[in-house]
Amino acid sequence: MPRNIEWEIPAEIQPKPEDCAFDLDRALGAVLGLHATVPEDAFTAGTLGTERAGSGVLIRKDGLVLTIGYLITEAESLWLTSSVGGAVPGHVLGYDQETGFGLVQALGRLSVSPIELGSELRVGAGDRAIIAAEGGRRHAIAATVVARQEFAGHWEYLLDRAIFTAPAHPFWGGAALIAGDGSLIGIGSLHVQHSNGRELRRDVNMIVPIDLLPPILDDLLTYGRPNRPPRPWLGLYATEVDDSIVVAGLSERGPAGKTGLRPGDRILAVRDEPVSSLASFWRRVWASGPAGSEVVLQVSRDNDTMRVRIPSTDRTRMLKAPRLH
């Protein structure tokens, strides 16, 4: 999301050096500004825009930067900025549709230190942390982990144990979640509302946990994506309504949009397996086989039930590949 350089987190919720057992400013210095430009004819231009701004986190001395993948998907140009000044171009190395992580290589020298990954650190509700966008303390929040739980997204996305933090950061995309020991424990993905069932819904950030990175890091660096069969992609946006799964929308270029499905259709089952939650729906879609497999849905429309057969595809085939620099 675009940002105004004059914005500032209220002082009372900014992190304070005296409350940290690590060098706060050094850790925050690893958080970089990221600006990506995407062609107008890109597959994701209509949903994510052609100008994308957020943050990335320097995780290696050689200029390797971790961010959230939607910021850099199909980017044709990319710049990284530092709180100590200066800007360098970047090159997209890859992204993972399953976790949401994206990797960028800085193509110039960054005068900041990388942050250590806290992939072995156990993170749970009640833990204190810092969520930070580029810009040091003024752009950081002393936050609390409010939950570790499943998160299902309407765009064919699922995390088993996402991290949720509050207060919510206004510039969450690619922001760093920093643990009490100064290590990186997650990358900001979304602004959502959360309820634990006993209180009113509250604004929180959904964070992709860093422990999902080590198993795929080498593949991302080598191939630009995890070296495993891609999941079947339908191009279907779904939502939960009264314990039912409802088609909320269809991608114009996705396979589901060519089958006669319509927004408002209620999905009863995948093949003969009933679904009542978004998470169970996506899991059963993905259990149909790798990308290219046929996904069979039982659908209800106007009190009639029908079977819809969708020839799935690999979503990455719809995307523009990163440009070489």
Q: Quick one: the chain helix, strand, coil %, rounded to 5?
A: 15, 40, 45
Whether residue 218 is found in the same domain as residue 248: no
d(CA 288, CA 246): 20
d(CA 210, CA 26): 19
- Does residue 120 carry a pLDDT above 80? yes
- Does residue 171 carry a pLDDT above 70? yes
Q: What is the pLDDT of residue 305?
A: 96
Strand, helix or coil for residue 90 = strand
| Whether the Cβ atoms of residue 163 and residue 185 lie closer than 8 Å to each other | yes
Confidence of residue 3 (pLDDT cuts 50, 70, 90): very low
pLDDT in tens, 201-230: 789 999 999 999 999 999 999 999 999 999
More confident residue, 238 or 5: 238
State mean pLDDT over 248-270: 96
State the CATH number of the domain containing residue 265: 2.30.42.10
289 within a domain of the structure (yes/no)? yes
Confidence of residue 194 (pLDDT cuts 50, 70, 90): confident
Q: What is the pLDDT of residue 242?
A: 87
| Domains in the chain, number | 2
Q: What is the pLDDT of residue 84?
A: 85
d(CA 220, CA 213): 10
For residue 41, give its domain range: 1-228
Whether residue 93 is found in the same domain as residue 188: yes
pLDDT in tens, 96-106: 999 999 999 99
Q: Structure pTM?
A: 0.94
State mean pLDDT over 22-38: 97
d(CA 226, CA 282): 19
- Does residue 5 carry a pLDDT above 60? no
